[in-house]
A = this chain, B = another copy of it.
Amino acid sequence: MQGRATGKSEAVYERLKEDIESLRLRPGAKLSEVQLGEELGASRTPVREAIRRLARDGLVDFVPGEVARVAPISLGGVHALFEFRMLLEPQAAASVATAGAADERVLVPFHDLLKRLEEFDESFRALDAAAQVRSYTKFYEVTEGFDQAVIAACRNPYLARTIRDLRSQTVRLRHLSHSRPRRMLTSLDEHRAMLKAITRGDAQAAEAAGRHHLAQTRQALIDSLTSQDLTLGRDVQVDLTG
């Protein structure tokens, strides 16, 4: 097994995932098993396996017998992705709120999260736009904590896994267009609304807040994609026809 500590396959997967999410590997780029193996210091077997997993994550288009390619980004795909998330994530938030109403322990991580959010939110609002952009790492840390906590608290493993499987694509889109400062502010508001509804055990409000947040996020993303700064200084092309 070449040492449980190493885990070549896992390492290759994580590395490729990062490269694709960060757009270092551009949509449409060929993923040759031998070439990647040489670059990453692994043989074909782990690379193959990693590529299959990335295909499941929706980051790679894979057709048997053909060269795997980094999945292209299309406007239609973005719409479909968000439509699907809109079906799942508000429901997950609602079910967590319901579970929390029945068992207070479910809510512990959300109380923590809400506290961290409030703290960050306060300092974030005090910054000017440039400083806000510079602190976007922290912003994502807080907001992503929410997704993670919902998934962790989600009672239904199918729902949890499906939401988790969509995360990689969402992350890549985020790299296509970082949130603007104003959007970050409203996003924080939306997260606070979701967290409060959950800690209150109000399933209906949690679902509504989740739906609202996703709708806003999608709109911000679409606006960004359809504006001129598609390329972000790189030549990442997005298919706007879909």
Judge whether B4 and A83 touch: CB under 8 Å: no
Which residues of the partner chain B approach A155 to less than 8 Å between Cβ atoms? 80
> What string of 1s and 0s marks CB contacts (under 8 Å) between A132-173 and chain B?
000000000000000000000001111100100010000000
Judge whether B80 and A91 touch: CB under 8 Å: no
Binding site for B on A (CB under 8 A): 1, 4, 7, 9-10, 49, 52, 56, 64-65, 80-81, 83-84, 87-88, 91, 155-159, 162, 166
Please measure, in the bound complex, the distance between the C-alpha atom of A156 and the C-alpha atom of B155, giving whole angstroms.
25
Which residues of the partner chain B approach A52 to less than 8 Å between Cβ atoms? 49, 52
Copies in the complex: 2
Tell me the interface secondary structure of chain A in the complex: helix
Judge whether B87 and A159 touch: CB under 8 Å: yes
Judge whether A87 and B88 touch: CB under 8 Å: yes
Give the Cβ gap from A163 to chain B, nearest Cβ, in Å.
11
Which residues of the partner chain B approach A88 to less than 8 Å between Cβ atoms? 87
Give the Cβ gap from A212 to chain B, nearest Cβ, in Å.
19
Which residues of the partner chain B approach A162 to less than 8 Å between Cβ atoms? 84, 162
Please measure, in the bound complex, the distance between the C-alpha atom of A58 and the C-alpha atom of B148, giving whole angstroms.
22
Query: Chain B residue with minimal CB distance to A95?
Result: B83
Which residues of the partner chain B approach A156 to less than 8 Å between Cβ atoms? 80, 83-84
Give the Cβ gap from A161 to chain B, nearest Cβ, in Å.
9
